[in-house]
């Protein structure tokens, strides 16, 4: 099959979160299973600056864009996956985050930027760019690609589309004036199409018009069909429940492997776990914290946003520190959360290490050096850090939601007995419930043999991409087989 995989970020080219990890590794896993999958992302300045070899493959004249858009072609670094970059300097050649300005507010022209990206994806998918390659399936990811399925639906004999929800909280909502300014078909402004409570919703394009919907864990696939997690889209998602599948994300164990990780001081595996202690010592030194081997080191690596439950950690912090524990935090985002963490660090310089910012090598070192990983998310479509933690022997404490529920096995008398326990889970998104789970973790930490068992069971878990990639390929085949030939009126996009 020819598959065009469209995403707004892909590791190692550009990354703000888990979507990049998925887009950088799933296409590789699918290519390994002998499918012709190609990745397309915007040519952000940060991507072009890396100096990877690319060639000019095509020029595209797109409505509403003054300059012809260049399509650059290369390979996703470290792989054979063909990579297309949508090079429209007015929209993507700028410093900083792909979605937000320095102050954290979205770029004011995001709707235009990602509509340009969607038009380019559509053009390449239907071979209107003259590349001599046409997609059978376009695999879209998150709201930034949400206009592609409706564009395909307007095109006769178009490729099929799959839309993956990585996080329903981000929907790409804009006003009517913005919608009108983009020159999109006016009949899309309807409840049955892209209009959502008087706003223009990118994500609805994917939710309504794709042939199949997926999300990144089975539990999240069920949760988003409820009022609590559905953001008002639960009705639509229930309507589509027969074409909505949860496929758990995999992780790339060539990047996240303590046995061969260039970012950690001392590599280790299940049989050389004693080296983990050396990584812990180095990590504490890196953060300027006193080295205390027998004290549990908790860690957080996260975007600092409400979703992640960092406020719950702040609430339990006094109790955690009273138990003598240490904490290291790597993250950035919400300025209030950043300030609260800074204050906590200033007040507890011996116990808390903090790095506000984005630092990939440090993230690896933290996974290797910490004892316990905290992920008390209010919702978590899949979550990757808890899976990395398992492989690094860093026991996760998670809220039982989304992919966290699907990847971490709570420690109970039964799961200890049948040797399936890998972490600690709690249900209520509130500080007392988190504290109860942390207390259980502390209790088990003080029993080194039991702790060792937990670590070893976690390190044995296999969440590699192979199985998930097979699942996606089966789905692509199913969609192509089941697709009803539809004749729709072609519209100029
Ligand atoms: P989300 O996509 O919601 O941010 P995930 O757990 O799915 O959450 O993925 C987060 C990814 O981003 C992980 O690879 C994690 O290591 C990385 N990450 C998050 N914040 C930082 C940071 N400040 N520095 C380095 N890596 C980070």
| Mutation probe of ligand 1 site: the residue of 166, 255, 257, 303 with most atoms within 8 A of C-beta | 303
- Domain 2-250+466-482, second-level architecture: 3-Layer(aba) Sandwich (3.40)
Helix (H) or strand (E) holding 395: strand 395-399
- Position 488 scores a pLDDT of 45
Atom number of ligand 1 nearest to Cα 360: 25
Q: Using CA atoms in the order 448, 452, 453, 457, what is the torsion angle rounded to 10 degrees?
A: 160
Based on its alpha-carbon atoms, the radius of gyration of the chain, rounded to whole angstroms, reads 23
- Position 90 scores a pLDDT of 96
| 204 half-sphere exposure, CB direction, 13 A CA radius | 22
- Cα(325)–Cα(441) distance, rounded to whole angstroms? 12
- Cα(159)–Cα(145) distance, rounded to whole angstroms? 15
Local structure of 282: helix, strand or coil:
helix
Nearest CA to ligand 1 atom 26: 360
- Position 489 scores a pLDDT of 45
- Looking at the DSSP bridge assignments, the partners of residue 353 are 328
CA 367 to chain CA centroid, Å, is: 17
Rounded to 5°, the CA angle 231-237-239 comes to: 135
The closest of 145, 466, 451 to 294, measured between CA atoms, is 451
Residue 114 contacts residue 84 (beta carbons within 8 Å):
no
Regarding the beta carbon of 332 and ligand 1, being less than 6 Å apart is answered yes
Class in CATH terms, 270-462: alpha beta
The closest of 157, 118, 87, 166 to 4, measured between CA atoms, is 118
- Position 483 scores a pLDDT of 80
Q: Which two tokens stand for residue 394?
A: 């860093």
Atom number of ligand 1 nearest to Cα 19: 2
Regarding the beta carbon of 385 and ligand 1, being less than 6 Å apart is answered yes
CB neighbourhood size of 336 (10 A): 10
Atom number of ligand 1 nearest to Cα 385: 6
Local structure of 288: helix, strand or coil:
coil
Q: Which two tokens stand for residue 196?
A: 């959502």
| Burial degree of 259 (CB within 10 A; 0-12, 13-18, 19+) | middle
Extract the runs of DSSP E, i.e. beta strands, from 229-296: 244-246
- Position 126 scores a pLDDT of 97
Helix (H) or strand (E) holding 331: strand 326-333
- Looking at the DSSP bridge assignments, the partners of residue 298 are 327, 372
- Looking at the DSSP bridge assignments, the partners of residue 41 are 85
The single residue listed with the structure tokens 């789905």 is: 475
Domain with CATH 3.40.50.2000 in the chain: 2-250+466-482, 270-462
The closest of 53, 41, 40, 37 to 16, measured between CA atoms, is 41
Helices 448-460, 431-445: axis angle to 10 degrees equals 110
Residue 461 contacts residue 391 (beta carbons within 8 Å):
yes
Residue 21 contacts residue 11 (beta carbons within 8 Å):
yes
The segments of the chain whose pLDDT lies below 70 read 484-493
Ligand 1 mean position to 358 CA, how many Å? 9
pLDDT in tens, 173-222: 999 999 999 999 999 999 999 999 999 999 999 999 999 999 999 999 99
């Amino acid at each position: 099959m020819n598959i065009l995989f469209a995403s707004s970020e892909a590791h190692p080219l550009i990354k703000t979160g888990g979507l990049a990890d998925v887009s950088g590794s799933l296409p590789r896993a699918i290519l390994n299973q002998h499918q012709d999958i190609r990745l397309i992302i915007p040519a952000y300045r940060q991507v072009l600056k890396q100096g990877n070899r690319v060639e000019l493959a095509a020029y595209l004249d797109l409505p509403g864009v003054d300059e012809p858009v260049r399509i650059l072609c290369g390979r996703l670094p470290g792989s054979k996956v063909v990579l297309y970059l949508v090079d429209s300097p007015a929209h993507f050649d700028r410093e900083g985050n792909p979605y937000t300005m320095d102050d954290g507010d979205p770029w004011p022209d995001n709707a235009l930027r990602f509509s340009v990206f969607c038009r380019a994806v559509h053009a390449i998918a239907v071979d209107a760019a003259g590349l001599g390659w046409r997609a059978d399936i376009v695999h879209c990811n998150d709201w930034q690609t949400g206009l592609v399925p409706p564009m395909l639906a307007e095109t006769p004999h178009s490729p099929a589309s799959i839309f993956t929800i990585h996080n329903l909280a981000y929907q790409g909502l804009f006003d009517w004036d913005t919608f009108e300014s983009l020159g999109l078909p006016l009949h899309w402004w309807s409840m049955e199409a892209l209009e959502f409570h008087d706003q223009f919703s990118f994500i609805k394009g994917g939710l309504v018009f794709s042939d199949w919907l997926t999300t990144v864990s089975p539990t999240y696939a069920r949760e988003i069909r409820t009022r609590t997690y559905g953001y008002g889209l639960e009705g639509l998602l229930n309507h589509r429940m027969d074409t909505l599948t949860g496929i758990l994300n995999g992780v790339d164990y060539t990047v996240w492997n303590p046995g061969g990780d260039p970012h950690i001081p001392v590599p280790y595996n299940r049989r050389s776990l004693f080296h983990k202690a050396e990584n812990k010592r180095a990590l504490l030194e890196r953060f300027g914290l006193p080295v205390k081997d027998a004290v549990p080191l908790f860690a957080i690596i996260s975007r600092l946003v409400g979703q992640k439950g960092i406020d719950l950690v702040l609430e339990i912090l006094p109790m955690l520190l009273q138990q003598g524990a240490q904490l290291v935090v790597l993250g950035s985002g919400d300025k209030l959360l950043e300030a609260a963490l800074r204050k906590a660090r200033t007040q507890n310089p011996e116990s808390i290490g903090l790095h506000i910012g984005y630092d990939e090598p440090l993230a690896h070192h933290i996974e290797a050096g910490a004892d316990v990983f905290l992920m008390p998310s209010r919702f978590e479509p899949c979550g990757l850090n808890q899976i990395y933690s398992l492989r690094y022997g860093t026991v996760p404490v998670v809220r039982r939601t989304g992919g966290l529920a699907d990847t971490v096995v709570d420690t109970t008398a039964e799961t200890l007995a049948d040797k399936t326990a890998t972490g600690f889970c709690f249900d209520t998104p509130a500080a007392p419930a988190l504290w109860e789970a942390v207390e259980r973790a502390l209790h088990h930490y003080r029993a080194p043999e039991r702790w060792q068992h937990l670590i070893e069971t976690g390190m044995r878990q296999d969440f590699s991409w192979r199985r998930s990639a097979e699942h996606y390929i089966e789905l692509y085949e199913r969609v192509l087989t089941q697709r009803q030939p539809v004749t729709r009126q072609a519209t100029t996009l």
